[in-house]
Amino acid sequence: MSVEQLLKADGKKGGLITMPFIIANEAFEEVSSYGLLPNMILYLMQEYGMELVQGTYVVFLWTAATNFTPLVGAFVADSYLGRFLCICLGSISSLLGMILLWLTAMFPKLRPSSCYSTISGACKRASPAQLGLLYSSFALMSIGAGGIRPCSLAFGADQLDNRDSSDPSNKRILESYFSWYYASATASVLISFTGIVYIQDHLGWKIGYGVPAVLMFLSASSFLIASSLYVKHEPSTNLLVSFAQVIVASYRKRRNVPFPTLSSSDEYYHHGKGSEFQVPTDKLRFFNKACVVTSYEDEVMSDGSVMNPWRTCTVEQVEQLKSLIRVLPIWSTGIIMAVSVNQGTFLLVQAEFMDRHLTRSFEIPAGSFGSVLLVTLVIWVLSYDRAILPLASKLCGKPVDLGVKLRMGIGLLFSCSAMVVAAIVEHARRRQAVEIRHSNSSGAVVTMSALWLAPQLVLMGVAQGFNSVAQMQFYYSECPKSMSSIAGSLFGLGTAMASLLASAILSMVDGSTSRNGGTSWVSSDINAAQLDLYYWLLAAMSLANVVY
């Protein structure tokens, strides 16, 4: 494929020239939104007088809403608004939400008197109007995330993808795009957890919340500036209604309509003009009856449309539903891997009780160790795309490309290895802590270097580099173009499900191991707990996930 073809994927529009604007939009949005999350509990407690439990509950609901709205936004984009308009509205909604939050920090009357500003130290409760403004900012940011995150990835792929599966260069371009997109998203989160949090800690809430608002303004502006350059696909159908019609039609025809004898002939099936699907596939064959035409006179009108869409559907509708169902088993394997990634709280506690000194005068903050995973992920993704694959292709004398499912499997194996290493390191740390306790030495910090936590984080970063990028490419390639936004939302939905599953696993482990007065494996006293056994449990689940 020539340079001109790369730059112009659809006549005068699309191509690589649009990538900086699309990726910048997503990157600025993630820097802004993720930068608000780490210190939000402190803002709610200090400025709104909330108790720890109440503030945590608010943050949990906000996070849950932000993880759920992308799925809703995907259906809205693919069914009604289209991806371009959905990103525009999402960017504006996020910007308004961040401006509202910044205003609560700027003007004291928009929040209750600070606990630290009262002489008695008593916290004045926020009024309904003050809470309403705060919660409105959260709601607008969640709605904005629902518009941007599921559509941005698919919209960028629309600018490059000609959907010619026989063209290896097109496949390679998309793989490179997904790698760079995920790397930029990860780098954005890294900047959020370091730079934005640092500004909030050292320069206060006014500047700390003003910077994300400015970045969100740049996010919206960068996307809208290039409006005339984009390829914009309009939605073709209401997917939720379409899925329901296929299920109802196939159920109604389950007994009285036989499968056509010649399944390869398109005259037995109803399909739209110019459709890429003339006959349904054999997989999930029980849905095929939904598009079987038993009598053209009774089911199809003269213009080619069906008389009753709840009785006769198109082949396209059937294949759309099938594509979503087909990816669910592979999608579910990513949940367990994401559970392993969601163990950052224990990592922070482990680092607190280990030697974090690089030199006598410099000590690494415990909260900074999680950055090793993010840095590894960015380095690996960029190295894999720009160095490893080109070098392997040169050595082999032909293009080298690992399939998406193979890369996902490799990622799962690295994830399992990371949990094994985590268990071994924690066993060594805990054994040293027990020896210190038995020797009646003062202090709970062991002499073991906290840098021993780095190998498991490096392995997890490589695991995500293989699995996560391949997941996004797999969903996009398996789903029809009309469902690209939904395909883009599946990865985030899996992460949200992993958070719920991780909480459930933690609760079950805590309840079962602390029964009858025993010490929980995940006790707050990490030296008395058996966190290594908890890691072995996750390693076993990861191995079972590979087999699954």
Each residue's pLDDT tens digit, 361-404: 777 777 677 778 888 888 888 788 778 888 888 888 887 778 88
Are 380 and 303 contained in the same domain?
A: no
Rounded CA-CA distance 205/38 in Å is: 13
Instruction: Let me know: does 484 contact 78? Beta carbons within 8 Å.
Output: yes
Please provide the distance, in angstroms rounded to a whole number, between the alpha carbons at the two ends of the chain. 38
- Is the residue at 1 inside a domain? no
Domain assignment present for 120 = no
CA separation for the pair 171, 160 (Å, rounded): 10
Q: Are residues 143 and 252 in the same domain?
A: no
SS3 content of the chain, % helix, strand, coil (to 5): 70, 0, 25
Contact between 192 and 263 (Cβ < 8 Å)? no
* Same domain as 227, residue 245: no
User: In one letter, which amino acid is 394?
Assistant: K
In sequence order, the β-bridge partners of residue 300 are 306
Task: Convert the pLDDT of each residue in 439-459 to its tens digit.
Answer: 555 446 778 888 999 999 999
Q: Which one of 178, 211, 236 terminates a domain?
A: 236
257-266, 480-489, 505-514, 536-545 — which is least confidently predicted? Answer: 257-266
In a domain, 198, yes or no: yes
pLDDT at position 10, please?
42
Same domain, 33 and 158: yes
Residue 318 covered by a domain: no
pLDDT in the model for residue 4: 40
The pTM is what?
Answer: 0.72
Q: Note whether 103 and 148 are same-domain residues.
A: yes
Contact call for residues 103 and 206 (beta carbons, < 8 A):
no
116 part of a folded domain: no
Predicted local confidence at residue 439, as pLDDT: 57
Query: Can you read off the two tokens belonging to residue 320?
Result: 């759309």
What is the chain's mean pLDDT, rounded?
A: 81
- Write out the DSSP string of 199-213: HHHHHHHHHHHHHHH
Query: Quick one: pLDDT band at residue 539, thresholds 50, 70, 90?
Result: very high
CA distance 481 to 258: 30
Of 313, 345, 368, the domain-final residue:
313
Domain that holds residue 299: 239-313
Instruction: Yes or no: say if 35 and 188 are a contact pair by the CB < 8 Å rule.
Output: no
Is the pLDDT at 491 greater than 90? The verdict is: no
| 368, 250: one domain | no
The pLDDT of residue 1 is above 60: no
Into how many domains does the chain fold?
A: 3
**203-225: per-residue pLDDT in tens?**
888 998 999 999 899 888 888 88
Is the per-residue pLDDT at 16 higher than 90? no
Q: CA-CA distance, 401 to 328, in Å (whole number)?
A: 24
What one-character-per-residue DSSP string does 35-72 give?
Answer: HHSTTHHHHHHHHH---HHHHHHHHHHHHHHHHHHHHH
Q: Sorting pLDDT into bands at 50, 70 and 90, what band is 257?
A: confident
Is 6 among the domain residues?
A: no
User: What is the domain-level CATH number for residue 415?
Assistant: 1.20.1250.20
What pLDDT was estimated at residue 262? 58
Burial class of residue 537 in the structure, from the number of CB atoms within 10 Å of its CB (0-12 exposed, 13-18 middle, 19+ buried): middle
The token pair that represents 70 in the structure block? 């992308």
What does the alpha-carbon distance between residue 381 and residue 79 come to, in Å, rounded to a whole number?
Answer: 33
Q: What is the pLDDT of residue 9?
A: 43
- Per-residue H/E/C for 331-355: HHHHHHHHHHHCCHHHHHHHHHCCE
Residue 136 has pLDDT above 60, yes or no: yes
Per residue in 26-70, pLDDT tens? 888 888 888 887 778 778 878 888 876 577 678 767 877 887 888
Name the β-bridge partners of 355: 449
Domain end point (choices 208, 236, 264): 236
> 508 Cβ partners below 8 Å, 6+ apart?
none
Residue 4 lies in a domain: no
Joined together, the tokens standing for residue 437 give 């306790």
